[in-house]
Amino acid sequence: MGEAKKRSIAAVQEALVAMSVEAIGARVQVRWNQSEAATPFGQMAYFAEFLNLTGLYRRWIDSCPLHYASPNGSKISDVLGTLFLSVLSGHWRYAHIAALRADGVSAAMLGMDAVVSEDTVRRALRAMDEVAGVNWLQEHLDASVLPLLSAPWILDTDVTVKPLYGKQEGAVVGYNPHKPGRPSHAYHTYQIAGLRLMLGVTVAPGNKSQANTTLPGLIELIEGMPQGKRPALVRGDCGQGGEPTMAALEARDIHYLFKLRLTKNVKRYIERMFATPEWADAGQGWQGRDGNIKLSGWSRARRIVILRRALQGEVLLSDEHQLNLAFVEKDVPVKGYEYAVLATDLDYDIRALAQLYRDRGDAENAFDELKNQWGWGGFTTHDLKRCQLTAMTVALAYNWWSLFVRLAHPKARLEAITSRPLLLSGIGRLTTHAGQAQLSITPMHAKAQHAQALLMTVSEKLKAWKRTAEQLPLVSVWQRVCEFIVTHVTGFNWLARQHSPQLMHCT
């Protein structure tokens, strides 16, 4: 029976089961078509092309340490592909995987036979050896970012809190500023500043949010890098700066910039410096003054920079003992200041150091995106091991998608809340004729022409780089992608390969 005749018979069968529905605008005939493959992420074909030509996805699948002894077990590519599709779709619970079960188009784009159930994914992660799984995912996290580190760059460290609502392993009450008293996990993260790419993440119980828990992962990460790829500066907030961290970085000749807690000794130092006239302009309304101090517990004296900014408008004061309230108004000749103290071994001037630390605020945007737009706020299981493996998988998918979006839109960073609807959403209908698969895409947003132009531009770049790779075997598509990102996003001259004295920073 020919293909045309089959389609004719199928159309007749659909017509026979059509039913009328009285909608608000009009009466419509509804036909259920369960014989053809469709997806709400039709534009994902272009992202799948990126993963295929760079080899990132295939290497990730082939090197997975998970193995099934039974011949009836699910294919590894189906299990990992299902988790990857769920993360890419913006899911934050394993139960959301059920929404992908009928999506045969996206599965086909990733070389999968079928989308497996959420229970299959959870059991697969439980069966994976933790050490082997962490090493496997860290290897691919490194591979997704190390080729980009061709100029001096900044490593941002931080801890983000994930509140928990069950009896999970590691659900312990710890530092939780938004929901005090709520058990949580602490995600210790390591990020490339500016590019907003993740180098690693360690999931710890909620009461282990201090720098001593961040330090082992940080040192392991740094020592695992080639000497020429190590960060020029490690930057963190007041929770990360301390004697163990600073001493460890000094021993490895890596500069640091940390914010200090306003302890009693630090406050005494501020009081001594308050009335001195040598305050310099630190930008954005701040004044700064540097000095040297050796705090209790420090092995030696270190440079600190005191930053202060005059308070504007009315300020509400409270007396902790008397519980009295009072207002300080701007018209009254009394001036109040807010303070911040930085510890560093850099010899930059005060204004440059102040701006360098203010730039760290961009790292918070990445943490917010990973928690609220990706899966770091969810994918919770009873054991800590699977939380760790899933968190690293989310970071890997986030890195791949970020690189793809930067190829499409190198001028500015697009968060997932903007880029996924723009570059993924579109009804895709997959048909096969004469042995050739055809994907028909119906856009689902008002910027369809803009999205089409971006995606076609990326596809043309990738195909051109593939032709170059075929002619020059030592040059891969992935290398061309990294050259493009470094040149057009960071502004670093890849061909010159001369280390600039300026730290690599981009928007």
Q: What is the pLDDT averaged over residues 154-179?
A: 90
pLDDT reported for residue 335: 64
Domain boundaries, the chain: 1-35, 54-237+360-414+484-507, 257-353
- 255-259/197-205 β-pairing: unpaired
Output the DSSP codes for 292-355: EE--TT-SS-EEEEEEEEE--S-EEEE-TTT--EEEE-TTSS---EEEEEEEE-----HHHHHH
Q: Residue 92: left if φ>0, alpha if ψ -120 to 50, beta else—which one?
A: alpha
pLDDT tens sequence across 441-483: 988 888 999 999 999 999 999 999 999 888 877 679 999 999 9
* pLDDT score of 3: 59
CA within 13 Å, CB half, 453: 5
Q: What is the pTM of this model?
A: 0.88
Contact 190, 220 (CB under 8 A): no
Rounded to a whole number of angstroms, the CA Rg of the chain reads: 27
Calculate the average pLDDT of the chain. Answer: 86
35-92 tens-digit pLDDT:
678 888 999 999 999 999 999 999 999 999 998 888 888 999 999 999 999 999 999 9
Percent of the chain clearing pLDDT 90 (strictly above)? 57
Give the C-alpha separation, 248 to 2, whole Å: 72
Q: Between helices 384-408 and 76-88, what is the axis angle to 10°?
A: 70
Taking CB atoms within 8 Å and a gap of at least 24, the contacts of 311-315 are 311/335, 311/336, 311/337, 311/338
Higher pLDDT pick, 505 / 491: 491
- What's the distance, CA 296 to chain centroid? 36
- The CA distance from 82 to 63, in Å, is 17
* Average pLDDT for 11-39: 76
Q: Residue 325: its pLDDT value, please?
A: 47
Nearest to 168 by CA among 156, 182, 155: 182
Residues 6+ apart with CB under 8 A from 486: 148, 150, 151, 492, 494
90-104, 351-365, 478-492 — which is least confidently predicted?
Answer: 478-492
Q: How confident is the model at residue 125 (pLDDT cuts 50, 70, 90)?
A: very high
DSSP label of 487: I
Residue 381 has pLDDT above 70, yes or no: yes
Averaged pLDDT for residues 321-328: 49
Residue 336 has pLDDT above 80, yes or no: no
pLDDT at 15: 53
Mean pLDDT of the region 364-376: 89
DSSP designation for 504: B
Reported confidence tier of residue 357, pLDDT bands at 50, 70, 90: very high
Instruction: Give Cβ neighbours of residue 369 (< 8 Å, ≥ 6 apart).
Output: 196, 398, 415, 416, 417
The top-scoring range by mean pLDDT among 111-125, 149-163, 226-240, 473-487 is: 111-125
Query: Can you read off the two tokens belonging to residue 240?
Result: 């990360």
420, 445 contact by CB (below 8 A): no
Of 7-21, 74-88, 204-218, 280-294, the least confident: 7-21
Q: What's the confidence (pLDDT) of residue 367?
A: 85
| Tens-place pLDDT, residues 259-310 | 998 889 998 888 888 878 888 999 999 999 999 999 988 999 999 999 998 8
Confidence of residue 496 (pLDDT cuts 50, 70, 90): very low
* pLDDT band for position 314 (cuts 50, 70, 90): low
Q: Does residue 500 register a pLDDT over 50?
A: no
Give the angle subtended at the CA of 155 by the CAs of 133 and 352, to the nearest 5°: 175
